């Protein structure tokens, strides 16, 4: 309430002076109530993650005995033991590498292919252009589940079922509608004069695209790249179907441990945190771009 | 149809090239080259599967013979799919609306505190992590054991604050006890008591560390005029055994706080509570009564809710979904709020509207379009929810937590019924088609600018 009260006083200076002691008291109390409410909610949102973090920093024996909150009374329980064990496990480190091998190409390809198509939809002339674009937009909401069985058979026939190539292709396919949508809309905002001038200077389309459009597209590409990166990094379902034990990413490797949840907390808790480190770093480093990606992707 | 629009003019050879037409001539081939990679991938990986699924859904499980609508009939007859459908309805009704409502409340309230940004960051953060990680996080939160799962730890804590927990679980009469079971977990004296009597009510079986903190060494009852005095205590000491059977030994502890009722003809005439040394006394009104230790003394300690059991598993998982996605709603709504004309709110306040009225009559109506977009987006998202259910629901209640996306996976990849799985896929697709249509219409207007 305080912020709004401030703007009210600016607009109508008389109001504050006229407020009775009672109404100011009421405002102070409700402001306090808002703070308490938000703090409680904030705790609700933090505690689950903090709980898993502390659980990952205790020994399996301690975890079997009681809850993670006991580290507050016995801080000596904290240990990196579970992380050390986990990082010596070749399955886990291998699957972490696989996650990177899948995520980086799938992100780069979506950005490159999406930019090319987005540029064509924004600035080139060809028959039925807007209809093609609307068709792509229509594909935004197609659930990935629709493609699982057909693509499994297709990849089987092509011999790429279970390979990194297959998963990457799948993620590129389902990342493209959003990429084309976002980039086309961004490119369409580029001032026409800029492109005209370059064209008059004799620049071809490719040159125009590389030298003029792409350098301007930083914010859109950042938003798209971060979105796609997180989406692929965090994916479990697609990888669950299209990878095998040699190509599985960290999400699938951890998923196989969940069935024995009670006994495996010393693998699952640190594993989940290791898998979360990269998305969280990306999230905190690129909050603004992430938010603009989320805004643009509100239809996905 | 776009060719009839004023801008763009994407006809084959526009006579009067407008706006975006430029001097380079190789338009079509170059355009094709720019578009080719995207269209080929989209065609092969998104469009083709849609067609394939539609066709496949009309063939039997082996894919050899045409099955008509059998697979679609299974959507309504197969128990697994019916549970999934029912749960999907619950998901679609509750998850998006609660997440949006919370997002709205958070967005409005964070404007009023200086650390609003920090709060937003905390609530938005779960969006960045995988559903798998969120699943593991909540699997631990919902652990049944209140000593491990924080949900039950809090719940039991709250419960025990309001409902008295019993102090003596598992206490029961020992050998040659004057007490006998009275049904329902209570114990009652075999005989009646009379004025001036002293009574001993020994029990055994309470774990030493479960004894009340204020339990003192038990004292033998002393006669007190025509009052009925007694003592109730643990007739057992760890390492020393029973000692003198049914008699107070020095090392034995009183049942501090044990409640005792004097019962005559089925009615309670008087109640007493044992002191820390286990002693208690009744007035002469209790003459001729049986003494009863009511069952409330011996209840098992409250163990919390079975969050991941059959009845609560879906709401519990929806809770974790809301944890992940309320931040999304909050951020979009906050952006909508930031773009709202402040003068309107201020005008309403100046007109004497209180904060609630401003919120209800001005803020919410102005935000309606944003709220609609957020809710619809979450609805589509909810239809596809898979990972959270797959990870959080333990094997024993996964059938009860089933949703369509999970059932599709099970039918298609675990039980080898691709026909039915394809029918589920087509059904999911049909559910999102209205949104697809809405998106295209909204954009068609923009494209025509």
CA distance linking residue A52 with residue B139, whole number of Å: 10
User: What value does the mean pLDDT of chain A take?
Assistant: 84
Spell out which residues of chain B touch residue A280, defining contact as CB-CB under 8 Å.
125, 128-129
The pLDDT score that the predictor gives to residue B13 is: 39
The pLDDT score that the predictor gives to residue B234 is: 86
Same domain, A265 and A183: yes
Q: Is B408–A145 a contact, with Cβ atoms under 8 angstroms apart?
A: yes
Angle at B47 between CA B44 and CA B49, to 5 degrees: 75
Q: Cβ(B383)–Cβ(B432) under 8 Å?
A: yes
Q: Is B448–A148 a contact, with Cβ atoms under 8 angstroms apart?
A: no
Spell out which residues of chain B touch residue A3, defining contact as CB-CB under 8 Å.
111-114
Same domain, A142 and A265: yes
C-alpha Rg value of chain A to the nearest Å: 26
Q: Is A120–B412 a contact, with Cβ atoms under 8 angstroms apart?
A: no
Q: Cβ(B260)–Cβ(B272) under 8 Å?
A: yes
Among A117, A149, A101, A125, smallest CA distance to A250 is for A101
From B234's Cα to the closest Cα of chain A, the distance in A is 28
CA distance linking residue B280 with residue B250, whole number of Å: 18
Per-residue pLDDT tens digits for B417-446: 889 999 999 999 999 898 888 888 887 877
Domain boundary among A50, A79, A108: A79
Q: Is B28–A126 a contact, with Cβ atoms under 8 angstroms apart?
A: yes
CA distance linking residue B345 with residue B348, whole number of Å: 5
DSSP letter (8 states) at residue B163: S
Picking from B14, B44, B46 by the largest number of A CB atoms within 10 A of its own CB, the best residue to mutate is B46
User: Which B residues, 344 through 383, put their C-beta within 8 Å of a C-beta on chain A?
Assistant: 345-346, 349-350, 355, 373-374, 377, 380, 383
Among B347, B375, B393, smallest CA distance to B438 is for B375
Backbone angles phi, psi at B268, to 5 degrees: -80, 120
B84 vs A: CB within 8 A: no
Q: Is B128–A117 a contact, with Cβ atoms under 8 angstroms apart?
A: no
Same domain, A156 and A65: no
Q: Is B323–A151 a contact, with Cβ atoms under 8 angstroms apart?
A: no
For chain B, which residues score pLDDT lower than 50? 1-24
User: Which B residues, 244 through 283, put their C-beta within 8 Å of a C-beta on chain A?
Assistant: none
The pLDDT score that the predictor gives to residue B17 is: 41
Same domain, A50 and A125: no
Same domain, A91 and A188: yes
CB pairs under 8 A between A and B: 340
Q: Is A34–B443 a contact, with Cβ atoms under 8 angstroms apart?
A: no
A47 vs B: CB within 8 A: yes
Same domain, A199 and A290: yes
CA distance linking residue B394 with residue A259, whole number of Å: 7
Q: Residue A128: closest CA among chain B residues belongs to which residue? A: B10
The pLDDT score that the predictor gives to residue B18 is: 44
Same domain, A27 and A136: no
B341 CB neighbour count, 10 Å cutoff: 10
B120 vs A: CB within 8 A: no
Phi-psi region at A159: left, alpha or beta (left = phi > 0; alpha = psi -120 to 50): left
The pLDDT score that the predictor gives to residue B223 is: 85
User: Which B residues, 301 through 330, put their C-beta within 8 Å of a C-beta on chain A?
Assistant: 323, 328
pLDDT of A2 above 70: no
A200 vs B: CB within 8 A: yes
B29 vs A: CB within 8 A: no
Among B423, B377, B369, B422, smallest CA distance to A178 is for B377
| Torsion sign over Cα B79, B82, B88, B94 | negative
The pLDDT score that the predictor gives to residue B166 is: 61
The pLDDT score that the predictor gives to residue B349 is: 82
The pLDDT score that the predictor gives to residue B442 is: 80
pLDDT of A12 above 80: no
A244 vs B: CB within 8 A: no
The tokens 């771009």 sit on which residue? A289
User: Which A residues, 274 through 293, put their C-beta within 8 Å of a C-beta on chain B?
Assistant: 275-276, 279-280, 282-283, 287, 290-291
pLDDT of A54 above 80: yes
Q: Is A234–B131 a contact, with Cβ atoms under 8 angstroms apart?
A: yes
CA distance linking residue B258 with residue B272, whole number of Å: 8
Q: Is A42–B28 a contact, with Cβ atoms under 8 angstroms apart?
A: no
User: Which B residues, 33 through 62, put their C-beta within 8 Å of a C-beta on chain A?
Assistant: 34-35, 37-39, 41-42, 44-50, 52-53, 56
Spell out which residues of chain B touch residue A124, defining contact as CB-CB under 8 Å.
20, 27, 30-31, 34
Among B30, B109, B374, the residue with its CB nearest the CB of A124 is B30
pLDDT of A110 above 90: yes
Q: What domains are there in chain B, each with its CATH number?
A: 78-151+307-416 (1.10.3720.10), 179-297 (no CATH)
Spell out which residues of chain B touch residue A195, defining contact as CB-CB under 8 Å.
22
Per-residue pLDDT tens digits for A149-184: 999 999 989 988 889 999 999 999 999 999 999 999
For residue A281, what is the domain's CATH number?
1.10.3720.10
The pLDDT score that the predictor gives to residue B146 is: 79
CA distance linking residue B39 with residue B30, whole number of Å: 14
Same domain, A167 and A29: no
Residue B300: CA atoms inside 13 Å, Cβ hemisphere, count? 3
A72 vs B: CB within 8 A: no
DSSP letter (8 states) at residue A204: -
Q: Residue A135: closest CA among chain B residues belongs to which residue? A: B440
Total domains in the fold of chain A: 2
Among B139, B90, B135, B127, smallest CA distance to B325 is for B127
Same domain, A48 and A103: no
Per-residue pLDDT tens digits for A255-298: 888 877 777 888 888 999 999 999 999 888 888 888 877 777 66
Q: Is A143–B39 a contact, with Cβ atoms under 8 angstroms apart?
A: no
Q: Residue A136 is part of which domain span?
A: 85-296
DSSP three-state, residue B291: strand
The pLDDT score that the predictor gives to residue B219 is: 86
Q: Is B42–A35 a contact, with Cβ atoms under 8 angstroms apart?
A: no
Which residues, 6 or more positions from B313, have their beta carbon under 8 angstroms from its beta carbon?
B307, B392, B393, B397, B400, B401
Same domain, A75 and A89: no
Same domain, A124 and A231: yes
Burial A89-102 (b: 16+ CB within 10 A, else e): eeebebbbebbeeb
Spell out which residues of chain A touch residue B5, defining contact as CB-CB under 8 Å.
130
Picking from A16, A22, A23, A45 by the largest number of B CB atoms within 10 A of its own CB, the best residue to mutate is A45
Q: Which pair of tokens denotes residue B179?
A: 């007490």
Q: Residue B17: closest CA among chain A residues belongs to which residue? A: A125
CA distance linking residue B2 with residue B83, whole number of Å: 45
Q: Residue A44: closest CA among chain B residues belongs to which residue? A: B323
Spell out which residues of chain B touch residue A240, defining contact as CB-CB under 8 Å.
409
Strands B187-189 and B179-181: antiparallel
Q: Is A137–B49 a contact, with Cβ atoms under 8 angstroms apart?
A: no
Per-residue pLDDT tens digits for B215-242: 888 888 888 888 888 888 888 887 777 7
Same domain, A170 and A275: yes
């Amino acid at each position: 309430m305080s912020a709004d009260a401030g703007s009210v006083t600016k607009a109508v200076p008389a109001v504050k002076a006229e407020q009775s002691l009672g109404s100011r008291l009421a405002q102070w109390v409700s402001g306090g109530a808002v703070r308490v409410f938000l703090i409680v909610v904030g705790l609700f949102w933090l505690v689950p993650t903090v709980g898993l973090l502390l659980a990952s920093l205790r020994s399996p024996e301690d975890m079997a005995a009681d809850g993670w909150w006991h580290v507050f009374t016995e801080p000596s329980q904290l240990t990196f033991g579970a992380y050390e064990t986990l990082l010596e496990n070749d399955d886990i480190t291998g699957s972490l590498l696989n996650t990177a091998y899948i995520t980086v190409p799938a992100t780069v390809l979506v950005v490159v292919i999406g930019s090319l198509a987005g540029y064509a939809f924004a600035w080139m002339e060809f028959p039925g252009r807007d209809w093609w674009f609307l068709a792509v937009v229509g594909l935004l909401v197609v659930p990935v589940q629709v493609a699982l069985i057909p693509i499994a058979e297709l990849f089987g026939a092509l011999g790429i079922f279970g390979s990194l190539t297959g998963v990457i292709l799948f993620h590129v396919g389902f990342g493209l509608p959003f990429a084309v949508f976002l980039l086309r809309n961004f490119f369409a905002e580029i001032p026409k004069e800029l492109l005209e001038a370059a064209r008059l200077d004799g620049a071809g389309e490719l040159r125009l695209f590389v030298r003029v459009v792409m350098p301007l597209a930083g914010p859109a590409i950042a938003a798209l790249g971060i979105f796609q990166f997180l989406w692929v990094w965090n994916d479990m379902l697609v990888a669950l179907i299209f990878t095998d034990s040699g190509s599985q990413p960290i999400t699938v490797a951890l998923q196989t441990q969940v069935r024995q949840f009670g006994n495996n907390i010393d693998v699952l808790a640190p594993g989940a945190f290791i898998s979360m480190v990269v998305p969280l770093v990306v999230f905190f480093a690129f909050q603004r771009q992430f938010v603009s990606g989320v805004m643009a992707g509100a239809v996905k | 149809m776009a060719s009839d629009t004023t801008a763009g003019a994407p006809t084959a050879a526009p006579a009067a090239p407008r706006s975006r037409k430029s001097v380079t001539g190789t338009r079509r081939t170059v355009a094709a080259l720019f578009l080719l990679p995207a269209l080929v991938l989209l065609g092969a990986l998104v469009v083709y599967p849609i067609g394939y699924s539609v066709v496949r859904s009309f063939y039997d499980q082996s894919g050899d013979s045409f099955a008509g609508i059998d697979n679609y009939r299974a959507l309504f007859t197969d128990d697994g799919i019916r549970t999934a459908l029912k749960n999907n309805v619950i998901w679609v009704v509750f998850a998006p609306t609660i997440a949006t409502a919370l997002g709205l409340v958070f967005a409005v309230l964070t404007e009023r505190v200086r650390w609003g940004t920090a709060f937003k960051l905390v609530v938005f953060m779960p969006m960045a992590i995988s559903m798998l990680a969120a699943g593991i996080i909540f699997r631990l939160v919902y652990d049944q054991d209140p000593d491990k799962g924080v949900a039950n730890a809090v719940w039991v804590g709250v419960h025990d604050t309001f409902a008295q927990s019993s102090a003596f679980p598992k206490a029961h009469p020992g050998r040659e006890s004057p007490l006998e079971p009275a049904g329902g977990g209570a114990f009652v004296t075999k005989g009646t008591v009379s004025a001036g009597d002293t009574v001993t009510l020994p029990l055994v079986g309470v774990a030493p560390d479960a004894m009340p903190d204020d339990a003192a060494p038990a004292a033998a009852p002393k006669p007190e005029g025509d009052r009925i005095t007694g003592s109730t205590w643990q007739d057992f000491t760890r390492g020393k055994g029973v000692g003198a059977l049914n008699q107070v030994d020095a090392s034995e502890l009183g049942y501090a706080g044990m409640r005792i009722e004097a019962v005559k003809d089925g009615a309670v005439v008087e109640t007493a509570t044992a002191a820390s040394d286990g002693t208690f006394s009744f007035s002469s009104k209790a003459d001729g009564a049986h003494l009863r230790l009511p069952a409330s003394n011996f209840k098992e300690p409250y163990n919390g809710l079975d969050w991941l059991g059959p009845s609560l598993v879906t709401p519990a998982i929806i809770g974790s979904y809301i944890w992940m996605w309320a931040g999304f709603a909050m951020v979009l709504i906050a952006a909508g709020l930031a773009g709202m004309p402040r003068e309107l709110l201020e005008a309403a306040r100046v007109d004497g509207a209180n904060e609630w009225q401003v919120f209800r009559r001005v803020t919410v109506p102005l935000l309606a379009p944003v709220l609609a977009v957020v809710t619809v987006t979450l609805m589509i998202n909810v239809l596809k929810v898979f990972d959270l259910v797959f990870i959080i629901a333990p094997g024993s209640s996964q059938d009860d937590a089933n949703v369509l996306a999970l059932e599709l996976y099970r039918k298609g990849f675990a039980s080898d019924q691709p026909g039915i799985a394809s029918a589920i896929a087509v059904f999911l697709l049909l559910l999102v088609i209205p949104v697809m249509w809405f998106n295209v219409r909204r954009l068609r207007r923009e494209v025509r600018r």
